Structure 1
């Protein structure tokens, strides 16, 4: 059989989550990329076995207690060689309040975490608002938030995830993952 072999753009969306909020965002990113015609798989970062066959990767995880989720950092370390050969987009969940200082603090923390991977040059980095619900917390978080002095002590449930901004960011990734579509 002759002819041109066209490489299908196949994206992996890998995520780390503590209470499911990051997974919900990852699912919206997947749906948006699929609507644009890309082939997309979604998997928890810790369960990814290989990156062969993927032409691009999206990695998302929360900033929690001023640290990026350890499974995201482990994923970057484990797949360093493969990630250096593919476009990678990174997102993090962070602020619970829509206040400029909190957004800056979370972005600075993510930048600090990404500095530990100087070989990584993401095509896109984004921070999305987070979700907090004390009722869903498990040990030891449910104990820590009850301590006087905890910044989350007596905090009401909150969700500042901006679904339109998430879909918009994901749709912009299409051109970065499949440059032929940009023309």
Structure 2
């Protein structure tokens, strides 16, 4: 299983690591790589793709990955996640995918998309990030229990056909 992600300040990479940990605990061999380090898709039976949200856009690296590997992704199970709201909204309700993630869903035939809360803390890169922090709107809004629960459903979906055979 491959988990790949587009991140600017590391929060989405950390979410990918949590997902990988759950999948490994469920007995699934899992590799976590940024899109730029993924070459051949052949070794992977399933893929999770994450993208940070910035100003309503899914991270460029995640979008590019789904375009470059669309054919291979359509041939295996794919799940998508977004990270970004800097408030508790992602833990309170389902947030629909932004346009770039919706296109990725169609392009890959993804089975599911979920939006998790984001994290923006002091030291974040980017002019917009600094402006948000200056306004006091930063913080860590990731719900690790919800992330682990979602990863557990991914593992269950992957293992279901194996257990039924």
Counterpart selection for 2:54 from 61, 64, 73: 64
Report which stretch shifted further, 122-131 or 68-77.
Answer: 122-131
Q: Higher helix share goes to which structure?
A: 2
**Partner residue in 1 for 2:70:** 80
**Partner residue in 2 for 1:123:** 111
1:14-29 equivalent positions in 2, closer than 5 A: 14-29=4-19
Give the distance between the partners of 2:102 and 2:161, measured in 1 at CA: 31
State the SS of the aligned residue for 2:32: strand
Pair 1:136–1:103, CA change in 2 (3 A) = farther
Displacement of 1:153 in angstroms is 4.2
Given that 1:87 and 1:176 are in contact with CA atoms closer than 8 Å, whether structure 2 keeps it comes out as no
Consecutive unaligned residues in structure 1, runs of 5 or more: 1-10, 146-150
RMSD of equivalent CA atoms = 2.2
Given that 1:29 and 1:170 are in contact with CA atoms closer than 8 Å, whether structure 2 keeps it comes out as yes
Consecutive unaligned residues in structure 2, runs of 5 or more: none
State the SS of the aligned residue for 1:42: strand
Length, aligned pairs only: 162
**Partner residue in 1 for 2:100:** 113
Deviations 1:130-170 (A, max 9, x none): 1111x222243456x1xxxxx65421541111111111100
**Partner residue in 1 for 2:161:** 180
1:28-39 equivalent positions in 2, closer than 5 A: 28-39=18-29
Give the distance between the partners of 1:86 and 1:34, measured in 2 at CA: 19
Which has the higher Rg, Structure 1 or Structure 2? 1
Pair 1:158–1:83, CA change in 2 (3 A) = same
Displacement of 1:182 in angstroms is 5.3
TM-score, normalising length from structure 1? 0.79
Give the distance between the partners of 2:155 and 2:163, measured in 1 at CA: 8
TM-score, normalising length from structure 2? 0.87
